[in-house]
Amino acid sequence: MQTQEITIYGIVVPTDWDDQGNILKIAIATYDEGKIIVAPDDRGLALMSCLRKTVQARGILRQNNGSREMEIHTFAMDRRQH
């Protein structure tokens, strides 16, 4: 497993739901059309308040057999124009 600290920009999107339609997992859809799953810890869950909004997030990216998950350290709304 590889890890590295990175900063990414993208839109917070839901990726998994329970039977009642509640969101279980989220990801950040990046501007290069990638998708990085957000680790479900306290900081990651705090990103739920930013669903469908553009954010800048910094943290540890873990890559394991093609899947990418990020442990969020900090995040903020991204106010840049793309």
pLDDT at 67: 84
Answer yes or no: are the C-beta atoms of 39 and 72 closer than 8 Å: yes
pLDDT at 59: 97
Cα–Cα separations (whole angstroms), residue 54 to 9, 11, 29, 64, 75: 7, 4, 9, 26, 10
- Per-residue pLDDT tens over the stretch 41-79: 999 999 999 999 999 999 999 987 888 999 999 999 987
Fold of 2-77: OB fold (Dihydrolipoamide Acetyltransferase, E2P) (2.40.50)
pLDDT at 65: 81
pLDDT at 82: 52
Selection from 71, 49, 54 nearest residue 62 by Cα: 71
pLDDT at 33: 85
What is the domain partition of the chain in residue ranges? Answer: 2-77
pLDDT at 8: 94
Strand partners, 60: 5, 71
Answer yes or no: are the C-beta atoms of 59 and 6 closer than 8 Å: yes
